[in-house]
Amino acid sequence: MHLKILVTAGDGIGPEVTNEAVSVLKEVANIGGHTLELDAKRIGGIAITTDGTPLPADTLAAALDSDAVLLGAVGGNEFNSLPPDKRPEAGLLQIRSALGGFANLRPAFAFKELAINSPLRPEIIDGADILFVRELLGGLYFGQPREWNKATNEAWNTMRYTKAEVVRVARIAFQLAQKRRKKLCSVDKANVLEVSQLWRAAVMEVAAEFPDVALEHQYVDAMAMHIMNRPKDFDVVFTENLFGDILSDEAGVITGSLGMLPSATIGGKVNLYEPIHGSAPDIAGKGLANPLGAILTGALILRHSAGLEAEAAAIETSVRKVLEQGFRTPDLARTNPQGFTVLSTTEMGAKVRETVKTMLVNA
């Protein structure tokens, strides 16, 4: 298998964590006899400094010419005074929209070793494993008309979906549920919103194509409670853009650390992969960043852009094993530093690399 990956490491801890993700991917590719064609380009603050724009044309061209883009994070305090369209984050929005992915996948899973980092009780989260599939290009964030009319002191946004927009992302959500525990929970507010009534009708139509997947519907307000009370009951959670933004952040508490969470945006021209955390300027360059979210993001590349499920699962299991053995980055060790071996970013990357190598060589 040959995979062409563009790495846009970005700012702050972005380069530190993507380096570790790439080194794990290289190890896995070597063992399996796969070739990785890697290219690196600038995005965000570093691109503003060097090229005068957060998304240089050659970065975008290289992204469109690759099989997958691995993004670190963008942003830095020195850019905070720039207007929104000139800031590092504008580069992120531009690349997301140019690549065209409409299905945002955000796993939220519990590591029992990290239960102490979660505000939820261990018996509630232990075993929780949810995959959020959030529609990313429609709904309230993009619907027209939208305006803040300062003369009349009114503002409005429009939550709008076409049936086709719901159907295309619903199919992806059902297909993913088929490969998991075959349960899909569609979240809406169909008791109040017409757009949710269309959403629910479209989801039910698509469900007929997937008789092996059990479908349930939940209202978004009830779902916000269920995620906290009984997260283990859910497998794939399928939502529109705004609801998914809120619920997937809420579910982040299941994992207990921002540094652990990967994401993928698929369905467009080229899939985009990024850990969900930002550039963490407060710890950048100090070897303190947790690279596990980026490494788990690498696993998503193998799963969704290369069809290498066994290798993706091996990376995920290796992360679990490293945690089981008591290794932690400082963000994960805050609650009990004496009980753990605290590692730097590169040391943690090396541990996962060694573990995945042992697993795959002995498989």
Could you say which of 69, 74, 105, 187 contacts ligand NAD (CB under 6 A)? 74
- Contact between 92 and ligand NAD by CB under 6 A: the answer reads yes
- Contact between 258 and ligand NAD by CB under 6 A: the answer reads yes
Q: Is 75 left (phi over 0), alpha (psi -120 to 50) or beta?
A: left
Closest approach of ligand NAD to the CB of residue 263, in Å: 9
- Positions 171 through 230 that interact with ligand NAD (CB under 6 A): none
What is the DSSP annotation of 234-265? -SEEEE-HHHHHHHHHHHHHHH--GGG---EE
- Contact between 282 and ligand NAD by CB under 6 A: the answer reads yes
Angle at 268 between CA 297 and CA 308, to 5 degrees: 40
Q: Residues with catalytic annotation?
A: 141, 189, 221, 245, 249
Closest approach of ligand NAD to the CB of residue 13, in Å: 6
Residue of 270, 263, 260 whose CA lies nearest to 5: 270
Write the CB contacts of 152 (distance below 8 Å, at least 6 apart in sequence).
none
Please tell me the distance from the alpha carbon of residue 144 to that of residue 102, in angstroms, as a whole number: 18
Closest approach of ligand NAD to the CB of residue 81, in Å: 12
- Contact between 289 and ligand NAD by CB under 6 A: the answer reads yes
Own/partner pairs for 46-49, CB < 8 Å, 24+ apart? 46/10, 46/11, 47/88, 47/91, 48/79, 48/82, 48/86, 48/88
- Determine the interface stretch with ligand NAD among 28-36, 106-114, 171-179, 280-288 (rule: CB under 6 A): 280-288
- Contact between 101 and ligand NAD by CB under 6 A: the answer reads no
- Contact between 75 and ligand NAD by CB under 6 A: the answer reads yes
Could you say which of 21, 60, 73, 213 contacts ligand NAD (CB under 6 A)? 73
- Contact between 130 and ligand NAD by CB under 6 A: the answer reads no
Q: What residues make contact with ligand NAD under the rule CB under 6 A?
A: 13, 17, 73-76, 89, 92, 258-259, 274, 277-283, 289-290, 293, 331
